[in-house]
């Protein structure tokens, strides 16, 4: 599948088939994350792959009872082992770099016929407790992964091009 | 080009041909950003597309004199119009969401035969002054875009799979 098709087809999947994710597909998806770029090649990302049903249920509770977090056969806790280094532009490296790795995973998942959902609505301390994650590690996102119940391609509800793109200087279209 | 090939082929391009970027390719790349997902579909990203040679020279100076910032025929200032909203996981939405949009652009650029480089080493206030960006807007990254002088595919220097992926619980491999 070409990149633009994957971008267009990707959607937030919140309803999953009971079908498990093949180990080799999961490995490819994590490999896509591993190959992501990061600021000064810091690679602060760390991934805890959860398949255990009971653990997924606990994660669901920590994620404000979003039922698809337990329903998805795989939940990946996307973490950062970070020293909170900032770039000169005054942005922390780790949220951006973990996001790049996750985006790679979401697009490759589409290519492999799988669905994902970025989950930012969770209580970090609860997730850390469930997964035994040390104090100094940040949990940036949970990513659910599995086969979608609904294969349809959604029209994306997005701001028009003109509202987000400017030319040469702020405010000029 | 399939997604995994684009992920493998993407590299930080810091040397560009004088060849300009076709308007239609640029539009597709910005469309890839526009279609990105964001927390609660907030779409805080805003992009200032700079082609003007003099402006690119000024941006280069704001980016610690990294010469490829002036050399690239296009520089996209990737901004956020944000209220600094945080997800429940205690991460700001905007750095993650702008990063997703940029990652979409970098992968589509590969598909279109173009190269990019994420630039986080710049002084935000200087960039804002050059581009007339209002006080309340954040500049998250600069993205250079153009035809690479060097088409070779690099072996990526990355941590081994085992160091970044854990199973079921932190620290278990």
Q: For residue A35, is it within any domain?
A: yes
Which pLDDT score is estimated for B124? 98
Reported as a single tens digit per residue, the pLDDT across B11-41 is 999 999 999 999 999 999 999 999 999 999 9
Reported as a single tens digit per residue, the pLDDT across A18-57 is 999 999 999 999 999 999 999 999 999 999 999 999 999 9
Chain A residue numbers touching B100 (CB-CB < 8 A): 99, 102-103
The pTM assigned to this predicted structure is 0.98
Which pLDDT score is estimated for A151? 87
Instruction: State how far the Cα of B124 lies from the Cα of B52, in Å rounded to an integer.
Output: 19
Look up the domain containing A88 and give its range: 3-164
Which pLDDT score is estimated for B154? 87
Q: For residue A130, is it within any domain?
A: yes
Angle, CA B44 vertex, CA A32 and CA B6 arms, to 5°: 25
Query: pLDDT category, A72, cuts 50, 70, 90?
Result: very high
Cβ atoms < 10 Å from Cβ of B134 = 10
Q: For residue B173, is it within any domain?
A: no
Q: Which of residues 94-113 of A touch B (CB under 8 A)?
A: 95-100, 102-104, 106-108, 110-111
Chain A residue numbers touching B110 (CB-CB < 8 A): 3
CATH of residue B85's domain is: 3.40.109.10
Radius of gyration of chain B (CA): 17
Estimate to the nearest angstrom the gap between the alpha carbon of B20 and the chain centroid: 18
Chain A residue numbers touching B118 (CB-CB < 8 A): 37, 39
Reported as a single tens digit per residue, the pLDDT across A139-154 is 999 999 999 999 898 8
Q: For residue A110, is it within any domain?
A: yes
Series of mean pLDDT values for 10-residue runs along chain B (173 residues) = 97 98 98 98 98 98 98 98 98 98 98 98 98 98 98 93 98 94
Which pLDDT score is estimated for B30? 98
Which pLDDT score is estimated for A154? 87
ipTM, interface predicted TM-score of the complex: 0.98
Which of B57, B80, B99 is the best mutation test for A, with the most CBs of A within 10 A? B99
Q: For residue A52, is it within any domain?
A: yes
Q: For residue B169, is it within any domain?
A: no
Name the residue among B114, B137, B119 with its Cα closest to residue A166. Answer: B137
Q: For residue B80, is it within any domain?
A: yes
Average pLDDT, stretch A72-77? Answer: 98
Q: Give the DSSP H or E segment for A79.
A: strand A74-81
Cβ contact, residue pair B133, A170, below 8 Å: yes
Count: domains in chain B:
1
Which pLDDT score is estimated for A24? 98
Confirm or reject contact between A24 and chain B (CB < 8 A): no
Q: For residue B172, is it within any domain?
A: no
**CB neighbour list of residue A117: distance below 8 Å, 6 or more residues apart:** A12, A13, A14, A68, A72, A143, A144
């Amino acid at each position: 599948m070409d990149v633009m098709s994957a971008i267009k087809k990707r959607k937030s999947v919140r309803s999953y088939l009971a079908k498990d994710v093949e180990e080799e597909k999961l490995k490819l998806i994590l490999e896509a994350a591993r190959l992501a770029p990061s600021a000064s090649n810091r690679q602060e990302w760390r991934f805890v792959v959860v398949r255990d049903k009971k653990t997924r249920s606990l994660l669901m509770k920590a994620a404000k009872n979003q039922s698809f977090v337990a329903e998805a056969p795989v939940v990946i806790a996307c973490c950062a082992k970070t020293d909170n280094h900032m770039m000169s532009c005054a942005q922390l490296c780790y949220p951006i770099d973990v996001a790049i790795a996750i985006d790679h995973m979401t697009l490759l998942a589409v290519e492999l016929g799988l669905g994902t959902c970025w989950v930012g609505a969770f209580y970090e301390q609860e997730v850390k407790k469930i997964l035994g994650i040390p104090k100094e590690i940040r949990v940036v996102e949970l990513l659910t992964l599995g086969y979608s119940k609904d294969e349809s391609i959604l029209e994306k509800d997005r701001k028009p091009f003109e509202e987000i793109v400017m030319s040469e200087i702020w405010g000029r279209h």
